[in-house]
Amino acid sequence: MFKKILIANRSEIAVRVIRACREMGIASVAVYSEGDRESRHVSMADEAVCIGPASSKLSYLNQEALLTAANMTGADAIHPGYGFLSENADFSELCAERGLVFIGPPPQASRKLGFKSAGKAIALQAQVPVVPGTKGDVAGVAGDILNTVSEIGYPVLIKASAGGGGKGMRIVRAPGELKSQLEAAANEAKASFGDGSVFIEKLLERPRHVEIQIAADKHGNAVAFAERDCTVQRRHQKLVEESPSPAITPEVRRRMQEAAIRLAKAAGYSNVGTVEFLFQDGKFYFIEVNARLQVEHPVTEAVAGVDLVDLMIRIAAGEALPFGQERASEIRCHAIEHRINAEDPDKDFMPCPGRIESLDLPGGAGVRVDTHVYAGYTIPSHYDSLIAKLIIAAGDRPTTLRRSLRALLELKVGGIKTTAGLHALVVAHPVFQKGDFDTHFIEKTGLLARLEAVHA
């Protein structure tokens, strides 16, 4: 087992990984930018190294600075968290060259799956259903692309192959718009992701987002956990995640788990990862793989009663999976995660960094809070706006929802605006409680207008 792990990340996820290290008796090294000196991950780790200025490019994305910090402190492995370099196959290769274990999938697998269009090709090979669309990327309105798109049927969605975070998607409702939208999407993708590749797929009008957490070791064993439902989104960004999904039957769950495992094996995957699907009218369609730990992993930890970060570390160290499929797919409770962001609901959810004057965190049975912030902490403006995750668990869905509401009302963040009020409105909404909704839940229910009214 590793003796010391460097965590190439910041904020709540760095705190999360430090906790796993400590429970496993492994020393932890935090890295931080000049803008992050006050973050709790810095004081919590056994050692901390400043790796550069506040800008992510010069710090958390600075591969040489991270590797130097690892060598300086004698770390033998690197945990990348999520975002930043977590899905960067070049970085993972560079780690290996410098004698460090990258805690994540092998670079060949993340390279295959990193591009959405390439991931879809592997899914097709593994006989996993995908959203109907073009075979691979498209280069403008060349060849018979218009015919292909007509076969798929409008409306369609143009997506950036290198895309992420809900960015770089464009809806096309008629053939006349296709050319200009393809050009605009490619330019946007190039500017945002440094790669202009785009592909086209059918726009599902009322989908749910349902994803399967997998874990695979280096000895050919793979398991899939119960699904997470991440249908409640704002601008294609997840807001609330829950497990199990109120829309998935045991039969569909089993088929999705089998599909996810087939895909993982076809890609030569190891470590933890997530296979994302859209679900509509009883059918599921693969959209992409996230070849890393996800923000919403604690939902699965609650439901299955496992520690996914502990598992990642063990798999990276070469251990075999400690359990099989039957244990992995156990559903021990219902769980919901609320992403609390420092954003101003009155200003179109603009990030609103600033000083947290006071902080009351919820507690009690079934309430887990993952955060790096505290009273007196100033949120830097350089990074994403996630300040805390509330993970609520109880024996059944109705009790979980009541507990969520109770916990959200206990949470008090003084000095800045947050999305906690929106979460309370979601949980209290009869449509959410009934469980019958799609990715347009927020717009269809007019919740944002209600939130404005509450604030006025």
Binding mask 108-147 for ligand ADP (x = CB under 6 A): -----------------------x----------------
| Size, binding site for ligand ADP by CB under 6 A | 20
Identify residues 176-215 at the interface with ligand ADP (CB under 6 A). Answer: 201-204, 207, 209
Name the one range near ligand ADP by CB under 6 A: 66-74, 89-97, 159-167, 183-191. Answer: 159-167
> Which residue in the set 36, 372, 439, 441 belongs to the binding site for ligand ADP (CB under 6 A)?
439
Nearest residue (CB) to ligand ADP, 238 versus 417: 238
Site for ligand ADP contains 276 (CB under 6 A):
yes
Nearest residue (CB) to ligand ADP, 48 versus 336: 336
Nearest residue (CB) to ligand ADP, 73 versus 280: 280
Site for ligand ADP contains 260 (CB under 6 A):
no
SS (H, E, C) the chain: CCCEEEECCCHHHHHHHHHHHHHHCCEEEEEEEHHHCCCHHHHHCCEEEEEECCCHHHCCCCHHHHHHHHHHHCCCEEECCCCCCCCCHHHHHHHHHCCCEECCCCHHHHHHHHCHHHHHHHHHHCCCCECCECCCCECCCCCCHHHHHHHHCCCEEEEECCCCCCCCCEEECCHHHHHHHHHHHHHHHHHHHCCCCEEEEECCCCCEEEEEEEEECCCCCEEECCCEEEEEEECCEEEEEEECCCCCCHHHHHHHHHHHHHHHHHCCCCEEEEEEEEEECCEEEEEEEECCCCCCHHHHHHHHCCCHHHHHHHHHCCCCCCCCHHHHCCCCCEEEEEEEECEEHHHCCEECCCECCEEECCCCCCEEEEECCCCCCECCCCCCCEEEEEEEEECCHHHHHHHHHHHHHHCEEECCCCCHHHHHHHHHCHHHHHCCCCCCHHHHHCHHHHHHHHHC
Catalytic annotation on 10?
no
Binding mask 397-436 for ligand ADP (x = CB under 6 A): ----------------------------------------
Site for ligand ADP contains 163 (CB under 6 A):
yes
Spot the catalytic one: 292, 314, 339, 403: 292
Identify residues 277-336 at the interface with ligand ADP (CB under 6 A). Answer: 278, 287-288
Site for ligand ADP contains 165 (CB under 6 A):
yes
Site for ligand ADP contains 5 (CB under 6 A):
no
Site for ligand ADP contains 455 (CB under 6 A):
no
Residues that bind ligand ADP (CB under 6 A): 131, 157, 163-167, 201-204, 207, 209, 233, 236, 276, 278, 287-288, 439
Active site residues: 292
